[in-house]
């Protein structure tokens, strides 16, 4: 007979206005939004790396941000006291000196850095390993990285050799990194996909307003152009966000194509979610479940459903919530007791009633009382919570 895992509480020592999830055993903390000084704590709630770094910095009339100040493969990208970018390790030692105007995260052991308006690549010992200077450089994926010279971009390998010529348009969300062996491309205004030799895998001329990268054999495609929406003088932020969402939902339709360019799901849906073995295509009030061949399996008629996590997805009708499985069956029915619920992570789901947060297990039972003003979902068996001005860590006992 299995027993419910114990959840312990550890107070976080220190004054912070923000604490993020744990990544690689450390959690990012910030002193306040004005100074934006950052450091890290460990799972004992104590400072592991002092707040001697910055996540935001004003330099030369421009605001520089670190968008992902979390540890990845033992390194964290931050801004030093001089306003330049560099990296530290998990004991706070500077590994990549704070000397770069801009810097991207390491991928496949290399990172793009900007020096004097040009981009090169360094390794984790801070050696410049690709010296040709580019006007922009992206991250390596599947052995290739996008880079730009002038108004055109191409792809290079880890020797700095041009593998795919600099002849493609640079605009909007392009250029994209390779995924599933393909990259979405615009050439002379026409959209298509190339393989890692530069050959057209899906010929140019796809009649979509946006094409995305492939994931697990499929790529999302969109019809409907993005039109900027301005906030009206007489509307609140909530009213503006609701109107913007409704206009986006009405004006954009999503579909899926496979790696042969064949339509698997037509561009008729407001949202499409891919979950390995099933595809969920949603329009308001109706969800269509398909197999990987585009065969419709069944439909559900919730107002909305979320992504699947640990085999369950949130479904909502009116102000009532439940969790469903991949057959559409309701597995946990919560009714209207909670005002908001989140996906299951590490076996627990964050729930909210009024302004208080707690957690439930997969039987629907409350295992952490609703007594926290702020709470993050569990991540790596730890969840950051706050009660009034006191931060703490909930941890699942091994």
Q: pLDDT per position in the chain (398 positions), as tens?
A: 355 678 999 999 999 999 999 999 999 999 998 999 999 999 999 999 999 999 999 888 888 888 888 999 999 999 999 999 999 999 999 999 999 999 999 999 999 999 989 999 999 999 999 988 899 999 999 999 999 999 899 999 999 999 999 999 876 666 688 999 999 998 888 999 999 999 999 999 999 998 999 999 999 999 987 666 777 777 777 777 777 767 766 778 999 999 999 999 999 998 899 888 899 999 877 999 999 999 999 999 999 899 899 999 999 999 999 999 999 999 999 999 999 999 999 999 999 999 999 999 999 999 999 999 999 999 999 999 999 989 999 999 86
Q: Report the C-alpha gap between 266 and 221 in whole angstroms.
A: 9
CB 380 within 8 A of CB 70: no
Q: Report the C-alpha gap between 155 and 293 in whole angstroms.
A: 32
Domain total for the chain?
A: 1
Residue 249 DSSP symbol: H
**Omega cis (within 30) before 18:** no
| Tokens 């020592």 sit on residue | 13
Is 332 a domain residue? Answer: yes
Is 335 a domain residue? Answer: yes
Helix (H) or strand (E) holding 237: helix 237-251
Is 338 a domain residue? Answer: yes
Is 314 a domain residue? Answer: yes
pTM: 0.86
Is 392 a domain residue? Answer: yes
Is 181 a domain residue? Answer: no
331: containing domain: 302-398
Is 97 a domain residue? Answer: no
Q: In this structure, how many other beta carbons lie within 10 angstroms of the beta carbon of residue 143? A: 12
Q: Which residues of 190-213 are buried (b: 16+ CB within 10 A; e: fewer)?
A: ebbbbebebeebbeeebebbbbbb
CB 311 within 8 A of CB 326: yes
Beta strands 190-194; 183-187: pairing state: antiparallel
């Amino acid at each position: 007979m299995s027993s419910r895992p114990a959840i312990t509480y550890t107070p976080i020592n220190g004054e912070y206005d923000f604490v993020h999830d744990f990544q690689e055993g450390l959690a990012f903390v910030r002193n306040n939004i004005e100074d934006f000084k950052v450091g890290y704590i460990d799972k004992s709630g104590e400072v592991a790396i002092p707040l001697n770094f910055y996540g935001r910095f004003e330099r030369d009339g421009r605001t520089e941000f670190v968008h992902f100040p979390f540890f990845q493969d033992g390194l964290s990208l931050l801004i030093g006291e001089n306003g330049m970018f560099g990296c530290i390790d998990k004991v706070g030692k500077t590994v990549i000196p704070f000397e770069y105007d801009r810097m991207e995260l390491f991928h496949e052991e290399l990172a793009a850095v900007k020096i004097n308006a040009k981009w090169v690549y360094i390794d984790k010992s801070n050696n410049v390993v690709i010296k040709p200077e580019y006007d922009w450089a992206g991250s390596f994926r599947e052995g290739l990285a996008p880079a730009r010279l002038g108004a055109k971009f191409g792809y290079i390998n880890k020797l700095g050799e041009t593998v795919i010529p600099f002849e493609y348009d640079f605009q909007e969300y392009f250029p994209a990194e390779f995924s599933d062996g393909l990259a979405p491309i615009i050439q002379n205004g026409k959209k298509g996909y190339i393989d890692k030799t530069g050959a057209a895998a899906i010929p140019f001329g796809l009649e979509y307003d946006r094409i995305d990268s492939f994931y697990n054999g499929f790529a999302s495609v969109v019809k409907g152009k993005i039109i900027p929406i301005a906030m009206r003088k007489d509307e609140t932020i909530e009213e503006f966000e609701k109107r913007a969402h409704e206009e986006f939902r009405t004006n954009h339709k999503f579909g899926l194509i496979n790696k042969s360019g064949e339509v698997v799901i037509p561009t008729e849906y407001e949202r499409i979610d891919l979950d390995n073995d099933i595809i969920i295509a949603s329009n308001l009030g109706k969800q269509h479940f398909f197999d990987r061949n585009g065969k419709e399996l069944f439909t559900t008629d919730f107002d909305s459903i979320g992504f699947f996590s640990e085999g369950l997805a949130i479904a909502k009708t009116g102000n009532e919530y439940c969790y469903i499985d991949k057959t559409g069956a309701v597995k946990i029915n919560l009714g209207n007791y909670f005002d908001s619920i989140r996906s299951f992570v590490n076996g627990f789901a964050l729930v909210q009633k009024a302004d208080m947060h707690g957690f439930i297990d997969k039987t629907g039972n409350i295992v952490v009382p609703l007594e926290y003003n702020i709470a993050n979902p569990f991540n790596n068996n730890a969840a950051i919570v706050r009660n009034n001005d006191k931060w703490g860590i909930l941890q699942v006992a091994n």
